A and B are shown apart, each in its own frame.
Chain A
């Protein structure tokens, strides 16, 4: 492990991480039943990994599979294009269906300023008029919002300083995911 990670504070260990994924999947089943009128859309890149873990949990714990799902990249919709040092290289969008009339569950790993979700909702409307949009996030940095956006399904809310950085460490194939908080972002 790099020295920088040693200084990082563990805020969600892998055991609680797995429990959180299971809980979020049960909450979705509670509201969406067999998902026949719903779809799940993950925001690139972290939201897509989280969505895959939730889809896996829905399949294993609730025996629900074949849920309509897509991957959304919001690079071209960002409101900070040319205003920040954000990477401008896009990831892929894989939406082979329309969201027209569907209940959409938008998935992202960390809810921070809310601008990513705003861009995602703008992007989503290019794929039709959904019946509703809900938001699922793993971590909510609740005092850093720029826009009045809240999560409908939430893994964990944390209080952070503006300059601190929340890092989700994914274990894509396994169950060793965790979330750490760093005092500041290091590249």
Chain B
């Protein structure tokens, strides 16, 4: 008999177990069947209200969570910082407590400050789901990435995954590393030295500065966006130079001895980290990632709701 998840919040991949990850994947598989039916909706969360609090811009994550919530029949309220009282100086706790007074059961939050979710989890009763906290974690993205890899490759034990790009500013990279290592995959990060954190190898990953070598080594390349908005100083000379040395294109993929899978969490800077001919090629499973994102988020919401009494 399944006991459900080991936690009542999803704050990061670091804080969940391998059993949790497998339970989320097993449940997501069933939700993927649901979202491919003519009527893509189940009544599981019809008595749950979810607040989506986005203190930072988001398009696909917000839409993906919103769709997942609607397909579980939850009631939802949306909030974005730009159009709220946060711009009038209200604190995070006040904002959230005000929303919770309206009887909200779960909070999906994206916040620019790493650890904002821990603060909330310690102060409020609702289940918290981290939809990205600064440069820290983005757990549902890592789960959907690993789920998409498993769908293509089967068991990830011993599979070789390269994470390429701006590792330094990427919460996707950190969550991916935790998730993939937990699932037994080998992980190499690749990018210019200025965008690779100094002690990253302590997480059990290898570092490769040569893009061709990294691609030749891996089964899957998860390519990350250059996050110019988080770069307070110049980490790379120019986007053009970055594209020259670390941009993945079709010619590069064709030069490899084997077929590899290309992934990207989006939004893609076409022509910078990934060229159009590679992003739209048969190597790419980027649109599968988007579809799986809804199913994985449904699974997370459903399983966390199961922890409420």
Chain A: residues with CB nearer than 8 A to chain B?
Answer: 73, 75-77, 81-82, 85, 87-93, 95, 98, 122-123, 126-128, 187
Contact = CB atoms under 8 A, between A and B. Distances in A.
A81 B48 CA distance: 12
A91 B305 CA distance: 18
A82 B30 contact: no
B27 A90 contact: yes
Given A123-B42, A126-B37, A126-B38, 13 more contacts: A77-B44, A81-B44, A82-B306, A82-B308, A88-B303, A89-B2, A89-B27, A90-B26, A90-B30, A91-B30, A92-B29, A98-B38, A126-B41
B34 to A, nearest CB: 7
Contacts of A122: 43
Contacts of A89: 2, 23, 26-27
B42 A88 contact: no
A82 B5 CA distance: 13
B20 to A, nearest CB: 12
B30 A93 contact: yes
Contacts of A75: 30
Contacts of A127: 37-39
Contact of A76 (B2, B38, B42): B42
Nearest to A90: B30
A77 B42 contact: yes
29 contacts: A73-B30, A75-B30, A76-B30, A76-B34, A76-B44, A76-B302, A77-B43, A81-B305, A81-B306, A82-B305, A82-B306, A82-B309, A88-B2, A88-B303, A88-B306, A89-B2, A89-B23, A90-B26, A90-B30, A91-B30, A92-B30, A92-B33, A93-B30, A93-B33, A95-B37, A126-B39, A127-B38, A127-B39, A128-B38
A70 B309 CA distance: 33
Interface of B: 1-2, 4, 23, 26-27, 29-31, 33-34, 37-39, 41-44, 302-303, 305-306, 308-309
A87 B306 CA distance: 10
Nearest to B72: A76
A91 B42 CA distance: 15
A91 B2 CA distance: 12
A87 B30 contact: no
A32 B257 CA distance: 59
The 5 closest A-B pairs by CB, nearest first: A89-B2, A76-B42, A126-B39, A90-B30, A87-B2
Contacts of A93: 30, 33-34
Which of A76, A127, A128, A187 counts the most chain B CB atoms within 10 A?
Answer: A76
A107 B38 CA distance: 23
Which of A89, A93, A98 counts the most chain B CB atoms within 10 A?
Answer: A89
A1 B4 CA distance: 30
